[in-house]
A = this chain, B = another copy of it.
Amino acid sequence: MNVNQGGRALPQRTVAFDRETNAVLLIEQRLLPHEFKIVAVKNFRATAAAIQSMVVRGAGAIGATAAYGLAQGALAFLGADPRKFSTHMETVYQTLKQARPTAVDPVNAMNEVRTAMLPGETVAEQQALALAAAEEFANSDVAHCRAIGVHGAKLIRNGMRILTHCNAGWLAFVDVGSATAPIYAAQAQGKTFHVFCDETRPRSQGATLTAWELAQQKIPHQIIADNAAGHLMQRGEIDLVIVGSDRVLGRTGEVANKIGTYTKAVLAARHGVPFYVAIPLSTIDWNLKRGLDIPIEEREEAEVLGAWGVNRAGKRQYLRVANPTSGARNPGFDVTPPDLITGIITPLGILAPKELWKRRKNLGGPD
Contacts and interface: CB of A to CB of B under 8 A. Distances in A.
B327 A223 contact: yes
Nearest to A215: B325
| Copies of the chain in the assembly | 2
A216 to B, nearest CB: 9
Q: Is the interface of A mostly helix, strand, loop or mixed?
A: mixed
Contacts of A296: 231
| Residue from the set A212, A221, A231 with the largest chain B CB neighbour count within 10 Å | A231
Given A267-B266, A304-B199, A226 B260 contact: yes
Nearest to A237: B329
A321 B308 contact: yes
A158 interface: no
B305 A225 contact: no
- Chain A interface bracket (under 10, 10 to 19, 20 to 34, 35 or more): 35 or more
A225 B310 contact: no
Interface in A307-343: 307-311, 317, 319-331, 333-335
A231 B299 CA distance: 14
Given A225-B226, A309-B319, 12 more contacts: A201-B226, A211-B323, A222-B329, A223-B328, A224-B328, A230-B262, A234-B334, A263-B267, A266-B266, A308-B319, A310-B320, A319-B319
